[in-house]
Structure 1
């Protein structure tokens, strides 16, 4: 009998923070999704931490080719070759398995919960129901929480009318904007599964009529050209894609618009801002959580 969930291979490296961007390029060649995270060994935020690079692939990784590519990068920069771990994950819904253990999350005015939680939502909070699915973004990650906190700050200053959630994953940020400002939101993702999950989550949150989820590689879908300019763009992806799309972001942002950028480590902030400053965009605010930065930029 065929499993309901596809086989997924998990690639993992333990690396120093300076080597993360070097080996990230290798992982981007062999994995469909790449992420990085920090483990604080002491638990007191004293800088004693380990950094890990992870990749996920739906096709069996070729260890020999990956190790060869890692070795070439390491030799070019005079550093040690990190040990590569490859593991085939069981054919289960990992998001569902993880969500069962996640408590609700507070992020400014937002209260994020899964359908597995049946408590009472605090008075005055905006509830975001993000159910289990195959897309990233259930609110527990520091970048997602950072974006929600930034949206909470922005809501105290002005109301936005034309939001774009670029790289929406589960759709949590677009849903937050649709609920908060009662406006139509365009959400995009490069992964067809994420597009479907975002639409499902919009329906669960009662904003399906105001939420459009489309497949798009960056800003290439015609819906973005038709919908621009956007007065707020939220892009919670990774540092390098943010840098590559800086020119497109500027072209789609309204003159008085702002963008919320996340998915970058705090030490990557300078290079991400460098590419956007060349497009006439400036840093206006920032949130840093657990080594991850969320930036608010505008003209």
Structure 2
């Protein structure tokens, strides 16, 4: 009998970039997974963009409650309530759909592809075979590309002795670091399914001996503390948790270490940096990819 894939409900808003954070908090409450993305309406990268916020739930959301929460946030922000769309999405094999829609990606020296791809990576590149499956992060999102480009820049400096990837999803960043430096990597995610995916991806990329996959909400897992401090920390999540975890990041970063932060819009950069500057960290370099910022910070 073929597998049965349950239906999900999608909540969607068309929003102004400055309002993404507040409205994201509403979706965090009513959805199990939240994402945001941009569409370039002109196709010319001229700033004519439209931003969307989406949430996904396995149970039907309470439309009236969601609208009330959106109206409350809109009143505080002094903006109009964006139109809310809630639709039932038929169950599909999202793993198979991901494979079909995932072309190879180049980011610096890294060449990321799925297991369905049958070509040869470019000469002198580091090929990474990543199947996101039920985890976020196959390399096509601007935040993941920004982090890989940051890693490419950091590779020109001394090797890193120990790496932590918080909110690792498919494990792509930690796997890239392990392939680059053959160093111990601890990768975590709050979702046990994602942890299983990243462990499988580490095995496929022949770095299982260097790679530890843990379930953790932020920096809480005992395994993170046991291996601290870290010379390099990745945190590709979202702006609000980046700010919340700033003290934990600083506590786990080795002297002279660096961190790569992403998952934030350019408009959210100042707020994220302020939370880390309060921990004695400074901006070393910033990268901007399709409106998403990646920050390299250190002491």
**TM bracket (short chain):** over 0.9
Per the alignment, in what secondary structure is the counterpart of residue 101 of structure 2?
Answer: coil
1:53 CA displacement:
0.8
1:250 CA displacement:
0.3
The 8 Å contact of residues 6 and 90 in structure 2, kept in 1 or not, is answered as no
Task: Write the mapping of 1:156-167 to structure 2, written as runs, cut at 5 A.
Answer: 156-167=156-167
Ranges in structure 1 where 5+ consecutive residues have no aligned partner: none
Alpha-carbon distance between aligned partners in 2 of 1:253 and 1:284, rounded to the nearest angstrom:
15
Output one character per residue of 1:218-244: Cα deviation in whole Å (capped at 9) or x when no partner: 000001111111110001000000000
Identify which range, 74-83 or 159-168, moves more after superposition.
Answer: 74-83
Q: Tell me which residue corresponds to 1:261.
A: 261
The 8 Å contact of residues 98 and 133 in structure 2, kept in 1 or not, is answered as no
Task: Write the mapping of 1:133-212 to structure 2, written as runs, cut at 5 A.
Answer: 133-212=133-212
1:209 CA displacement:
1.6
Q: Tell me which residue corresponds to 2:13.
A: 13
Per the alignment, in what secondary structure is the counterpart of residue 197 of structure 1?
Answer: helix
Output the TM-score relative to the length of structure 1. 0.96
Alpha-carbon distance between aligned partners in 2 of 1:131 and 1:36, rounded to the nearest angstrom:
21
Output one character per residue of 1:20-40: Cα deviation in whole Å (capped at 9) or x when no partner: 122111111111222211111
Alpha-carbon distance between aligned partners in 2 of 1:202 and 1:147, rounded to the nearest angstrom:
18
Identify which range, 115-124 or 162-171, moves more after superposition.
Answer: 115-124
Alpha-carbon distance between aligned partners in 2 of 1:132 and 1:271, rounded to the nearest angstrom:
30
Identify which range, 19-28 or 197-206, moves more after superposition.
Answer: 19-28
Sort the Cα spacing of 1:258 and 1:178 in 2 relative to 1 into closer, same or farther, 3 A: same
1:132 CA displacement:
4.5
Q: Tell me which residue corresponds to 1:276.
A: 276
Task: Write the mapping of 1:1-299 to structure 2, written as runs, cut at 5 A.
Answer: 3-299=3-299
Alpha-carbon distance between aligned partners in 1 of 2:24 and 2:239, rounded to the nearest angstrom:
11
Identify which range, 3-12 or 68-77, moves more after superposition.
Answer: 3-12
The 8 Å contact of residues 266 and 293 in structure 1, kept in 2 or not, is answered as yes
The 8 Å contact of residues 136 and 169 in structure 1, kept in 2 or not, is answered as yes
- What is the CA RMSD across the aligned residues, in angstroms? 1.4
Aligned pair count reads 299
Output one character per residue of 1:135-180: Cα deviation in whole Å (capped at 9) or x when no partner: 0000000000110011011011110011001100000001001110
Output the TM-score relative to the length of structure 2. 0.96
Alpha-carbon distance between aligned partners in 2 of 1:270 and 1:174, rounded to the nearest angstrom:
26
